[in-house]
């Protein structure tokens, strides 16, 4: 009887928790109306990177949506680099993170930094998706084939084949100075990233 | 027999609690419904700006917070935007143009006021948007989606125009998601709808 009571109260407690757990809040842009696939709330982080602050950033060369290939190496010695991995095109949080960065160029310029966006989607998908965002000032690269190889090297490939929502700040020498493997369901705080960029020059 | 009745009773209570909770949780999560034209505006409370120019523009005094219905104007145009929304970014020059036209018209500048509310945006993000588009009218942060929820979690951009009546009551004369398209045409439409007197 006691066991039954406990079971009853536990079930009730679980119900309350499920009902009141707030949905992932985001304001949807009219721009993407009806085009965004909502995967629901996902496991916040589903990988474990071995990279640490002070590690050398793994080099890569990936095809860019605007044509040609972009490598990490081409910026070394010239620019600080921010890599923004986002999980997938046409999903809720990703579809507004980069448009936000698109009007924050001055923070990157002021700190002599370049932004590189990477997803595991293929070029045609990225082309259609980024066109909805307007003219992006930073390169968007496809880590589609070998699938997620760069995300894997950075230790942020999730078990379902998409990358984490992760930010890596890399200095001109190619050393990682900041890592944020963010909760995939939430947008990283822009102000935090800007402060990390400013820290590079201190 | 008694036991069976108790079990059935428990089951009913359980189902009843579940239904109540579902309704209650849904209400607090979804917030209000999007207000419609001709309805009364929901109470929208915002912090009084620190900036003296903005405070003066809205005709406000004091510190803390104010209800939108307290803005000294006959018509209040409120835009829900997000700095992360590409559509809102494209809309910014059109709304700036609307502000410019209204401010140039002596018969309208004190009667129509524009404010923007950044859904889910903190003050830093609102500042980024303001600086990027050189926005002159007051913008407010709605980091916890409080206003956004009160307006039915609308897509962005969303515009609501509230007509303030002399007796302190108000009426919504415009409530739509999406672009206003053309500043002049939009202004003409809301002037016509509001019946606001114009000189000349």
* Residues with Cβ within 8 Å of residue B23, at least 6 apart in sequence: none
Right CATH number for B34-194 from 3.30.2130.30, 3.30.70.20, 2.40.50.140, 3.40.30.10? 3.40.30.10
Average confidence score pLDDT of chain A:
89
Question: What is the average pLDDT across A105-121?
Answer: 98
Per DSSP bridges, beta strands A140-142 and B158-164 are unpaired
Return the closest-CA partner of residue A125 out of A30, A13, A35, A3. Answer: A35
CA distances from A185 to A45, A95, A165, A196 (A): 9, 12, 8, 22
> SS3 of B174, please?
strand
Q: Give the Cα-Cα-Cα angle B80, B82, B87 (nearest 5 degrees).
A: 90
Which residues of chain A does B93 touch, with a Cβ-Cβ cutoff of 8 Å?
none
Predicted structure pTM score: 0.83
Residue A118 pairs with which residues in a beta bridge? A85, A141
In this predicted structure, the answer to whether residue B200 has a pLDDT above a threshold of 60 is: no
B14 touches chain A (CB under 8 A): yes
Q: Measured between alpha carbons, how far is B185 from B102 in angstroms, rounded to an integer? A: 12
* Structural contact between residues A81 and A114, judged by C-beta atoms closer than 8 angstroms: yes
Q: Regarding the domain delimited by A42-200, which CATH topology (the fold level of the hierarchy) does it fall under?
A: Glutaredoxin (3.40.30)
A3 touches chain B (CB under 8 A): no
Which residues of chain A does B152 touch, with a Cβ-Cβ cutoff of 8 Å?
none
* DSSP class of A80: E
A99 touches chain B (CB under 8 A): yes
Instruction: For this complex, say whether ipTM is above 0.95.
Output: no
pLDDT for the residue A201: 81
Alpha helices in chain A (DSSP H): 2-20, 94-102, 105-110, 123-131, 149-153, 190-200
Q: Measured between alpha carbons, how far is A130 from A141 in angstroms, rounded to an integer? A: 11
Q: Give the Cα-Cα-Cα angle B139, A196, A180 (nearest 5 degrees).
A: 95
| CB–CB contacts below 8 A, A to B | 86
pLDDT for the residue A11: 57
Exposed / middle / buried, residue B6 (Cβ in 10 Å: 0-12, 13-18, 19+): exposed
Nearest CA in chain B to A34: B155
pLDDT for the residue B16: 60
Compute, in degrees rounded to 10, the torsion defined by CA atoms A151, A152, A155, A158. 80
Which residues of chain B does A103 touch, with a Cβ-Cβ cutoff of 8 Å?
83, 89, 128-129, 132
User: Mind listing the pLDDT tens digit for each residue in A153-185?
Assistant: 999 999 999 999 999 999 999 999 999 999 999
Q: Is A94 a catalytic residue?
A: yes
List chain B domain ranges: 1-30, 34-194
At A168, which helix (H) or strand (E)? strand A165-170
The terminus-to-terminus CA distance of chain A in angstroms comes to 66
Query: Taking the CB of residue B174, how many other CB atoms lie within 10 A of it?
Result: 19
More confidently predicted of A10 and B6: B6
* DSSP class of B68: G
Alpha helices in B31-79 (DSSP H): 52-58
Q: Measured between alpha carbons, how far is A177 from B161 in angstroms, rounded to an integer? A: 47
Alpha helices in A132-166 (DSSP H): 149-153
* Structural contact between residues A200 and A80, judged by C-beta atoms closer than 8 angstroms: yes
pLDDT interval class at A130 (50, 70, 90): very high
Q: Measured between alpha carbons, how far is B97 from A81 in angstroms, rounded to an integer? A: 36
Which residues of chain B does A96 touch, with a Cβ-Cβ cutoff of 8 Å?
82, 84-86
pLDDT for the residue B33: 87
pLDDT for the residue A24: 44
pLDDT interval class at B129 (50, 70, 90): very high
Residue whose entry in the numeric block shows the structure tokens 């120019």: B53
Q: Measured between alpha carbons, how far is B140 from B57 in angstroms, rounded to an integer? A: 14
* Structural contact between residues B48 and B63, judged by C-beta atoms closer than 8 angstroms: yes
Helix (H) and strand (E) counts for chain A?
A: 6, 7
Residue A149 phi/psi, 5° resolution? -65, -40
Selected residues 67-86 of chain B with any CB under 8 Å from a CB in chain A: 80, 82-86
Per DSSP bridges, beta strands A140-142 and A165-170 are unpaired
């Amino acid at each position: 009887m006691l066991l039954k009571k406990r079971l009853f109260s536990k079930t009730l407690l679980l119900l309350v928790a499920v009902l009141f757990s707030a949905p992932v809040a985001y304001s949807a842009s009219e721009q993407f109306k009806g085009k965004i696939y909502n995967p629901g709330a996902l496991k916040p982080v589903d990988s474990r990177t071995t990279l640490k602050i002070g590690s050398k950033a793994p080099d890569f060369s990936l095809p860019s949506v605007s044509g040609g290939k972009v490598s990490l190496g081409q910026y070394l010695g010239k620019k600080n680099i921010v890599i923004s991995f986002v999980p997938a095109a046409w999903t809720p949080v990703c579809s507004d993170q980069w448009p936000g960065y698109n009007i924050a160029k001055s923070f990157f310029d002021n700190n002599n930094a370049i932004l590189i966006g990477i997803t595991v989607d293929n070029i045609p998908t990225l082309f259609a998706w980024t066109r909805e965002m307007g003219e992006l000032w930073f390169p968007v690269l496809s880590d589609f084939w070998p699938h997620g190889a760069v995300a894997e090297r950075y230790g942020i490939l999730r078990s379902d084949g998409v990358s984490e929502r992760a930010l890596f700040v890399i200095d001109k020498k190619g050393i990682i100075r900041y890592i944020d493997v963010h909760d995939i369901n939430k947008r990283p705080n822009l102000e935090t990233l800007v402060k990390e960029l400013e820290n590079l020059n201190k | 027999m008694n036991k069976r009745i108790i079990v059935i009773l428990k089951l009913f209570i359980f189902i009843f609690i579940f239904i109540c909770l579902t309704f209650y949780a849904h209400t607090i999560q979804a917030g209000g419904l999007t207000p419609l034209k001709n309805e009364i505006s929901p109470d929208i409370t915002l912090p009084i700006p620190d900036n003296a120019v903005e405070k003066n523009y809205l005709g406000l005094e004091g510190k803390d917070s104010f209800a939108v219905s307290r803005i000294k104007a006959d018509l209040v145009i409120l835009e829900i935007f997000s700095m992360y929304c590409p559509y809102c970014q494209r809309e910014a020059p059109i709304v700036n143009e609307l502000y410019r036209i209204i401010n140039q018209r002596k018969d309208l500048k004190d009667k129509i006021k524009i404010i923007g509310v950044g859904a889910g945006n903190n003050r830093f993000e609102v500042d980024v948007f303001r600086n990027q588009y050189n926005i002159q009218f007051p913008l407010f942060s709605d980091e916890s989606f409080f206003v956004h929820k009160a307006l039915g979690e609308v897509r962005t951009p969303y515009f609501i125009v509230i007509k303030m009546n002399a007796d302190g009551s108000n009426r919504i004369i415009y409530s739509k998601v999406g672009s206003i398209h053309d500043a002049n045409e939009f202004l003409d439409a809301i002037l016509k709808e509001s019946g606001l007197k114009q000189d000349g």
